Structure 1
């Protein structure tokens, strides 16, 4: 019979780290809903607040749940993530640029 793998190799977080990540994620989610539902901010400020909260929540998920850090063991994972994020930014940015440029040229006629 095969034995179950029970060794803890240190690459996974502890229960307290998962709990901290979960609590931070819940707080950031509630803050996002509060920024929109209370109408305390102008639409532009609400969009800026949502953007900042979303970026912080992405970082929380990457650090606490995906265990992405700057250690030497994680260097390839970090480089792959940065490349993927840059690719997505270029694709989305290019698409928005093309759509905006097309709209400007079509509306001028």
Structure 2
């Protein structure tokens, strides 16, 4: 029984450590590119965006332990629902503010 607990702690610790290293690398790459200016601004923006998206997935997999297994299915469904709600709130607010701004300045 203690071997199972020890193995589980080691696997979980390895997961957190690997996630931390990947997050650190995905943070340092854009930082170094911004400081040293190896590429043009457009290419830097693309690399920054790719690193940010990769870091989101690293956090989901290594820190929140989200995967496509049967037991974690409801966690993923909840995450997708939250993303949809956030999308609706943010872009709905922008859309409303744009139309309010349009009606105020154009009698």
Classify the TM-score, shorter chain.
Answer: 0.7 to 0.9
CA distance in 2, matches of 1:76, 1:46: 36
Corresponding residue SS for 1:78: helix
CA distance in 1, matches of 2:102, 2:11: 50
Q: How many residues align?
A: 102
TM-score, normalising length from structure 2?
Answer: 0.73
TM-score, normalising length from structure 1?
Answer: 0.72
Greater percentage in helix: 2
Question: 1 or 2 for the larger relative contact order (CA 8 Å, sep ≥6)?
Answer: 1
Partner of 1:3: none
Deviations 1:62-96 (A, max 9, x none): 10111000000001111111101111111111112
Extract unaligned runs of 5+ from structure 1.
1-5
CA distance in 1, matches of 2:89, 2:96: 11
2:16 to 15, 18, 32: 18
1:58 is aligned to 2:56: yes
Partner of 2:76: 78
RMSD of equivalent CA atoms: 2.7
